[in-house]
Amino acid sequence: LSRFGTVPPVLHPALLPQAKYKERGTVLAEDQLAQMSKQLDTFRTHLQAFASKHKQQIRRSPEFRLQFQDMCATIGVDPLASGKGFWAEMLGVGDFYYELGVQIIEVCLALKHRNGGLITLQELQQQVLKGRGKFAQDVSQDDLLRAIKKLKVLGSGFGIIPVGGTFLVQSVPAELNMDHTVVLQLAEKKGFVTVSEIQASLRWETERARQVLDHLLREGMAWLDAQAPAEPQFWLPALFWELHGQE
């Protein structure tokens, strides 16, 4: 300490270049951030103009709607995030997905006695289109997935399970873990599965296979054919209705 007070810290000469580089880097980062923000604002403006010009196509065409959703995603805009505001008022997409969500619930409730709350995405699309009539807006599988994701937020028991090259839609609040999902995937090709098939394909113990199948039976998601020739078969109605084209 000097008699004039505290001496201000002085950087060592060797550290001066590093400090200058750091300061310069901060300035460059701020400039880049400001430039990116400006570009995003410009993109949003163009996106709004595009949406205003093509709103009828966005409403009517599933393919056009998907492309528009992808464009929005690139800049972090979600037209479905709120029922109010520019996007919902101009495009009506919020109402479209809300109505679609209601129709999905109606279809799933109507078929729950048959499939236990599991339905393939293809069958769900067919049933929804049948209920909408030929003069309504077309609905793609992407539209259905987006509407289901909105239903999941409500905690309504809806979920999406990947099975092979498609999806199963779960509409009941049953607890399905990875074991159940793997067994559903195994049953995809034939519509049913047996304990021995699970053991051979997944190398599981008998008890593990039976626990999974018993759970699916209790939830109504599987049916038991105890009269099958070799051993009992556990049928997944959501899958075999799809395979055999029954209504």
Q: Is residue 8 part of a domain?
A: no
pLDDT of residue 70: 73
The CATH number given to whatever domain includes residue 143 is: 1.10.10.10
pLDDT of residue 83: 47
Residue 112 and residue 46 share a domain: no
CB 88, CB 79: distance < 8 Å: yes
pTM over 0.75: no
Residue 165 and residue 55 share a domain: no
Q: Please state, as a whole number, how many other Cβ atoms lie within 10 Å of the Cβ of residue 16.
A: 10
CA 100/CA 236 separation, integer angstroms: 26
Kindly give the confidence (pLDDT) of every residue in the chain, 247 residues in length, as a single tens digit, with 9 standing for 90 and above.
Answer: 455 555 555 555 555 566 666 666 676 667 666 766 666 666 666 666 766 666 667 666 777 777 776 777 666 666 555 444 554 555 455 667 778 888 898 999 899 888 889 999 999 999 999 887 776 678 889 889 988 887 876 666 788 998 877 899 998 877 888 999 999 999 988 899 999 999 999 999 999 999 999 999 999 999 999 999 989 999 999 887 666 654 4
Instruction: Please state the domain count of the chain.
Output: 2
Provide the Cα torsion 232, 238, 243, 245; round to 10°. 120
Alpha-helical segments (H) within the chain: 16-53, 55-60, 62-74, 86-91, 93-115, 121-132, 141-153, 178-186, 195-202, 206-218, 237-244
pLDDT of residue 32: 67
Task: Identify the domain containing residue 42 by its residue range.
Answer: 16-75
Residue 172 and residue 117 share a domain: yes
Residue 114 and residue 44 share a domain: no
Q: Is residue 50 part of a domain?
A: yes
Q: Is residue 174 part of a domain?
A: yes
Q: Is residue 84 part of a domain?
A: no
Residue 129 and residue 54 share a domain: no
